[in-house]
Amino acid sequence: MASRRMAGSADYKGRLNAVASQLLDDLKGTDRYSKSRFIDEVFPEHVTLDNADETLRALAPRTPVSIQGNQVTGGEAILDPKGRVNMDQIPSNPAELYHTAPDAVNSNEPAMNALLNPNSYTKKEGDNPKLARAQAIGKAMSANDTVAYKKAGMPIEVDNDAAAYIAGQLVRGKGNTPLRSNGFVKSGGIGTESREQILIPGTDTRFVDADKATQSAYLDDRRNSLVGQWLKQGGASIANPSTTIVPPGALSHMDHVQSLSSSRDTIGDKGWGYSDADENYSYLDAEANVHSKLNYDIQGQHQLMKLADFMRQNNMPAPARLSQSQLGDPNRKRLSNEEALVRQATDKATDINSGGEALLQALQIVNGIR
């Protein structure tokens, strides 16, 4: 059974947030704030060993808060019997995320307009910070600038020793399994037959060919790097304007920013680099993952969203999202930018004219006219 700890020095921030969230829910007649965590309520600008426990507990689920007059009860962190936080239980509400899939993207929302059309937004004093976040992500994606893309989606500085400590205090599943002992450390397909070419970064050794001791040490480090990446994103989805926290699992997936097929692992010295290097990690929400699984190029993903928005505005049907079985198919073909845009423009076209109009729009997007 999970243990419940009364607020101590490390839990003061988390309990205060829990009470504030309940107050907001009561005032606004909603359960929105208690069901979610956001970057600014959990994370300091710099996560260190000194504030790691406070950050960890601010992520934890909470006992129900009751506010009766000036009496406040509840709001304690729910931890496992060893005092660890179950990552699967971190509050997260998918409704807080912006839609990015082709059948749902909508530039009528200011943050999505800033992402899809970053040059249209000019920052003003008092603006919601998510607008600037959206603009930075959109600029990076449209320029295919993977460095700027990661910078835009990684607002938190995290020390390596703090990441390692927090990684050791996170568990998953009903049995509260440490991250090193479950599938978390092998996300992205490392060690599988379909990804057997993955190299240990900085070497010419395939992970699958390394001895057991080397593999074990690598996965130890990989656990810390993956948790560090998620923390640097403030727990949010790297490609979404929303600052809501999305824990890895069903709602968030580790995604390599650049493709394995064009990496050093697959094509040797001509490749862009090592696929499994830390700098190629990112965490995407499940809806954004639909784009990345169809087309790896972040510029192509941005173009697909812009085309989808045009098609929505003109009542043109969009192709269905990839199913879970399609997403998990190791033999699924990733499309080039051109193939993906043609598919989106024509796959569900009801007549030649609408398909042609969507294709023309796609050409204008690719050529920077729109």
Average pLDDT over residues 105-120: 95
Decide if pLDDT at 121 tops 70: yes
pLDDT tens-digit profile of 349-361?
888 888 888 888 8
Helix 286-294 vs helix 298-313: angle between axes, to the nearest 10 degrees?
110
| Residue 365 resides in a domain | no
Ranges 114-118, 141-145, 219-223, 316-320: which has the least confidence? 316-320
Task: Note whether 146 and 257 are within 8 A (CB).
Answer: yes
| Residue 12 resides in a domain | yes
Decide if pLDDT at 2 tops 60: no
Question: How many beta carbons lie within 10 A of that of residue 293, not counting itself?
Answer: 19
Decide if pLDDT at 184 tops 90: yes
270 or 129, which is more confident? Answer: 270
Ranges 13-27, 37-51, 73-87: which has the least confidence? 13-27
| Residue 23 resides in a domain | yes
Q: How far is CA 181 from each of CA 177, 194, 208, 214, 219, rounded to the nearest angstrom? A: 6, 22, 18, 16, 10
Decide if pLDDT at 8 tops 50: no
Give 213's contacts (C-beta < 8 A, 6+ positions apart): none
Instruction: Find, among 224, 283, 264, the residue nearest to 97 by Cα.
Output: 283
Give CA–CA dist 52/24, Å, rounded: 27
Domain count, the chain: 1
Decide if pLDDT at 50 tops 90: yes
Q: Which amino acid is at 166?
A: I
Mean pLDDT of the chain: 90
Predicted local confidence at residue 370, as pLDDT: 66
194 or 229, which is more confident? Answer: 229
φ, ψ at 119 (rounded to 5°): -75, -10
- Model confidence at 78, pLDDT cuts 50, 70, 90, reads very high
| Residue 114 resides in a domain | no
| Residue 61 resides in a domain | yes
Predicted local confidence at residue 350, as pLDDT: 85
Give 281's contacts (C-beta < 8 A, 6+ positions apart): 188, 225, 226, 229, 254, 256, 257
Q: Which amino acid is at 256?
A: H
Decide if pLDDT at 298 tops 70: yes
Predicted local confidence at residue 9, as pLDDT: 60
Q: How far is CA 305 from each of CA 29, 39, 108, rounded to the nearest angstrom? A: 34, 25, 13
- Model confidence at 318, pLDDT cuts 50, 70, 90, reads confident
Give 278's contacts (C-beta < 8 A, 6+ positions apart): 201, 225, 228, 229
The pTM of the whole model exceeds 0.85: yes
Ranges 122-131, 291-300, 343-352, 355-364: which has the least confidence? 291-300
The whole domain housing 38 covers 3-83
Decide if pLDDT at 295 tops 90: no
| Residue 54 resides in a domain | yes
| Residue 325 resides in a domain | no
| Residue 19 resides in a domain | yes
